[in-house]
Structure 1
């Protein structure tokens, strides 16, 4: 006997969607895919070494092929606020940062359901909230990362089950490095930081790996090898500029090219 059933996600109504036929053809999306082709240094755990790999970063291309919407902008739908602010301060703060237990469950009471009350995450961040968050992020950085002034940037804020998640990346966003970031959770009720996760600590396990070899394959050669593996799927994506869902092509490629050997390999072989 079925005792429960639910579907999780964002469900736009008809008025929020700009219906149109998919119009992207290879002559429109291949130049964009080439621009997305990057040289990354990725860890190969079995070989215990870093490999220089050309790969194509996943992105959404609008149906008119005039602009892109980064994949990360759509992970939390309309709640994501893109930012690009370098975090600077003059002096550190004394004291420590105490991590608090967080609750990311999406449970609601029966009364809330019967009242058809909107989820807190459906209320967009106000200007005052964002300004307070930026001050709280600086306070956190001055305590936990006191020597990192000018070396980190705030790239986005998004809502997550009653929390505001701040995404903090390194300023030197070189394409030859992994996209490592700090995710800082700020309680929305109090606008105070309660917990964080630093991906740099996760990748610390790879620091003894052998350094990557010098690339000999050019970007043009790598893209020609990857061209046949390109995948572009039609999908409706939330566009914060229009506050509507628009037709896009999801440009993706599950393969990469070893920049030393020229070998084409699936990216999941890197495990």
Structure 2
């Protein structure tokens, strides 16, 4: 066994009190973060000594310790005892569930400072959820830290996800935004959308706010969707047209979602292929592959699809397409086409049409009788504008913004103000 692997295993066994456990398996994995850095993890599955094999359905037995170490930082990122059952002796324990002790342990484990880089978000009996922040201001995309302990105070779950930026990655400013300065944007973000109400099997026309980040200098905005999807996505925005279909059925190939990662790749922090930009040649071949696929599987849809983006994902290039004509429903038609990175041929795809067809059985929405201006007047006191440090992929740093949003909407057929969570 590689000496570096043995050191990690021995450290884990002592740290989490796994004397009554045996190491069942281990593996390496990697992902690319929003900074386009390749992050490697070493994962272990520890079975209680009384157990020697998986459950019949392939799942881990109760009490299994599933643990991950970030090899870039050397810090533990995830510790989960299956079904909340632990046989650990000693290990990590918090007497009387003391909150201060838990926060102190988290600071030591993560290297982060409470109140400056993470803060308490939710708390229940035996559970604490923390959200990422910078100097107490929320961050987007957000990270989380979760801790669970059993009635005896023993750790049963710990996980950390997110970037938790250092000062070097943040453009610090004094927050100056107010709603009065951006009310014109607020009205623009009010959209008429059809929300499904499952209990009544009916669609409701609702004026709701499409959330957006407004930069502190008021010069520009960052769409919420861009924050979610921007990492390594190559923007295309091209409508696909063709003259002739291809009269040959498309054959799906099985997709491998698991990537084989070696110890040498992990310990040398070899850059993942996902971090490499899509070249011009690859883009052109992907465009052609997408068109040929549509000519086969959607032969009558010329001009109906827009190729929005391309991005890499574990041996594949994913093409994301949106329907050219969308209705006002809250869920939009979307197509994801998987292209093998080596051959640049389409091997599989996902279409959300079956999910959307559920709403075809719903009662049609009533006609809107309320105008956008009237809805805005009802909602403007219910808008929220909260400071956020948002990662700007162009500037490659976090910039101060205001998140414009509202938890309420106006039913367009009768003018009733309603909490969106009730829909």
Give the structure-1-normalised TM-score.
0.88
Q: Provide the alpha-carbon RMSD of the alignment.
A: 2.5
**Greater strand proportion:** 2
In the alignment, structure 1 residue 228 sits paired with structure 2 residue 381: yes
Q: Does the 8 Å CA contact 1:73/1:82 hold for their aligned counterparts?
A: no
Aligned residues of 1:234 and 1:247 also touching (Cα < 8 A): yes
> How is 1:6-17 mapped onto 2 (pairs within 5 angstroms)?
6=77, 7-9=160-162, 16-17=169-170
1:109-258 alignment runs, 5 A limit: 109-173=262-326, 175=328, 178-258=331-411
| Number of residue pairs matched by the alignment | 270
Q: In the alignment, does 2:230 pair up with 1:68?
A: no
Q: CA deviation at 1:9?
A: 4.5
Q: Distance in 1 between matches of 2:408 and 2:258?
A: 35
Identify the residue that residue 417 of structure 2 maps to in structure 1. 264
Counterpart in the other structure of 1:102 = 255
- When structure 1 is superposed on structure 2, of 250-259 and 168-177 the one drifting more is 168-177
Instruction: State the alpha-carbon separation in 2 of the partners of residues 243 and 139 from structure 1.
Output: 36
Alignment CA distance shift 1:174-1:24 (3 Å): farther
| 98-107 vs 20-29, which moves further | 98-107
Q: What's the TM-score once normalised by structure 2's chain length? A: 0.58
Higher RCO (Cα < 8 Å, 6 or more apart): 1
Deviation (angstroms), 1:237: 2.9
- C-alpha separation in 2, matches of 1:108 and 1:76: 25
1:194, CA displacement in angstroms? 2.3
Structure 1: how far apart are the matches of 2:311 and 2:164?
A: 18
Residues 90 and 218 (structure 1), Cα distance of their counterparts in 2 relative to 1, 3 Å cut: same
Partner of 2:43: none
SS in 2 for 1:227: helix
Q: Which residue of 1 aligns with 2:179?
A: 26
2:236 to 83, 96, 106: 83
Q: In the alignment, is the contact (CA less than 8 A) between 2:331 and 2:356 conserved in 1? A: no
Whether the 8 Å contact between 1:61 and 1:249 is mirrored in structure 2 is yes
Q: Which runs of 5+ in 1 are unaligned?
A: none
Q: 1:174 to 1:202 in 2, by over 3 A?
A: closer
Q: Which has the larger radius of gyration?
A: 2
Distance 2:222 2:260 in 1: 31
SS for the counterpart of 1:75 is helix
Q: CA deviation at 1:173?
A: 4.2
1:156 counterpart SS class: strand
Q: Name the structure 2 match of 1:42.
A: 195
Which position in structure 2 is the counterpart of 1:51? 204
Task: Report the Cα distance in structure 2 between the residues aligned to 1:173 and 1:93, rounded to whole angstroms.
Answer: 26
Does the CA contact (< 8 Å) of 1:10 and 1:77 recur in 2?
no
Instruction: Report Cα offsets for 1:8-33 as digits up to 9, x if no partner.
Output: 44576655543323332112333212
